[in-house]
Amino acid sequence: MNVGVIGSGYVGLVAGACLAESGNDVVCADIDANKVARLNAGEVPIYEPGLEPLIERNLATGRLKFTTDVPEAVRSAHVIFIAVGTPPGEDGSADLQHVLDVAREIGRSVQDEKIVITKSTVPVGTARLVREAIEAETDVPVHVCSNPEFLKEGAAVADFMRPDRVVLGVDSEYASAILEELYAPFLRKGQGVGRLMVMDVPAAEITKYAANAMLATRISFMNSIAHLCEAAGADVDAVRRGVGSDTRIGPSFLFPGAGYGGSCFPKDVNALVRTMR
């Protein structure tokens, strides 16, 4: 399958390399000419275990290419992932400027029917805005879907190649069938790997934020319990094990510590709060 990935940052690089590894012809487009030149030379600007050899191998076979020509990447692909950044605005909301700029470029460039997927973490309603931006530029039919990523830093390649689940928010049976085919190599049911979860587009958009907010909540909650344990002279590890043994709760993300952080949890929690207001 011919795939385009717009944005060659963390998510775009991992998605592009892994999709090429499964046999697709992938073109990753980015407006940063220096980054594209380095990537075509096999220099990976981020460190993620397993990513560099994956890129090198698929560059050598010709299944993976990097370009600054976004319109050509759009025209050559049947499935197009939008994987550009959504930095937080001053009010905590996700800044969709780059996502909508890409959508308008897609609209100006399409010549035949396409499936456009938001891979970036975006608030509910973004797919509708993407569709409006594309349709303002073209009459060519375009399916706009949501496929949020669930990648952990340090294990992103493994997470993509052997996912817990793949969430697809689709707007048509046609798009669903194409994306199920695209992800089939990663969902090896005989090995107990992954679940395909097909849903409406808004549900997929909310799922990403809800998942990250739930994980952040568990961390914060356990830290509050740790404070209580310290005041009461209780063993917090015993409490953690006692709580986590309940199958409705489970043991994951119940370790007290410094609090949640990183590049996603704070940003996504703030964006969800802003959306709910």
pLDDT band of 194, cuts 50, 70, 90: low
Model pLDDT for residues 69-91, shown as the tens digit of each residue = 999 999 999 999 999 988 887 77
Residue 200, H or E segment: strand 196-200
pLDDT of 192 higher than 70: no
User: Would you state the torsion angle of the CA atoms of residues 208, 209, 215, 221, taken in this order, to the nearest 10 degrees?
Assistant: -160
Q: Of 68, 71, 61, 69, which is closest to residue 25 (Cα–Cα)? A: 61
Identify the domain boundary among 156, 177, 200. Answer: 200
Summarised one tens digit per residue, pLDDT across range 144-167 is 999 999 998 899 999 999 998 999
Task: State residue 29's pLDDT score.
Answer: 97
Name the residue with tokens 């590894």.
21
Query: What's this model's pTM, rounded to 2 decimal places?
Result: 0.90
Q: Which domain holds residue 95?
A: 2-200
- Of the candidates 232, 220, 215, 69, the residue with the CA atom closest to the CA atom of residue 152: 215
Residues 169, 93 share a domain: yes
pLDDT at 190 over 60: no
In 3D space, the residue among 5, 7, 6 whose CA is nearest the CA of residue 16 turns out to be 5
**Do 151 and 49 belong to one domain?**
yes
Q: Looking at the structure, tell me whether residues 193 and 243 fall in a common domain.
A: no
- Is the separation of the CB atoms in 124 and 202 below 8 Å? yes
Number of domains within the chain: 2
Marked catalytic residue, from 28, 145, 229, 264: 264
Do 141 and 223 reside in the same domain of the chain?
A: no
229 given a catalytic annotation: no
Q: Is the pLDDT of residue 61 over 60?
A: yes
